[in-house]
Amino acid sequence: MSGRLVVCPTPIGNLEDVTLRVLAALREADIVACEDTRRTRTLLHRYGVTGTLVSYHEHNERERAAELVPRMRAGAVVALVSDAGMPLVSDPGFILVQACVAAGLSVEVLPGPSSALAALVASGLPAERWRFVGFLPRKKGELERLLIPTSETLVAFESPKRLPATLTLLAAADPERPVAVCRELTKLHEEVRRGSARELAAHYTAQPPRGEVVLVVGAAPAGLAPDSAERAIAALRALVDAGAKPRAAAKVLATLTGVPANRLYAALTGD
pLDDT at 136: 96
- Whole-prediction pTM: 0.80
Domain 115-220 in this protein, CATH class: alpha beta
Q: Above pLDDT 90, what percent of the chain?
A: 75
Q: What is the pLDDT of residues 178-222, one digit of tens each?
A: 999 999 999 999 999 999 999 999 999 999 999 999 999 999 886
Average pLDDT score over the chain: 92
Domain regions of the chain by residue span: 4-109, 115-220, 224-269
Residue 2 burial (C-beta neighbours within 10 Å; 0-12, 13-18, 19+): exposed
The residue-averaged pLDDT of 131-152 equals 91
pLDDT at 134: 95
**If we measure between CA atoms, which residue out of 218, 5, 210 comes closest to residue 120?**
218
Pairing of strands 31-34, 213-217: unpaired
Please determine, for residue 236, whether its predicted confidence score (pLDDT) is greater than 60: yes
Q: Which residues of 220-230 are buried (b: 16+ CB within 10 A; e: fewer)?
A: beeebbeebbe
Please determine, for residue 271, whether its predicted confidence score (pLDDT) is greater than 70: no
CATH level 2 (architecture), domain 4-109: 3-Layer(aba) Sandwich (3.40)
DSSP character for 90?
Answer: S
> How many H-runs (helices) and E-runs (strands) does the chain carry?
11, 10
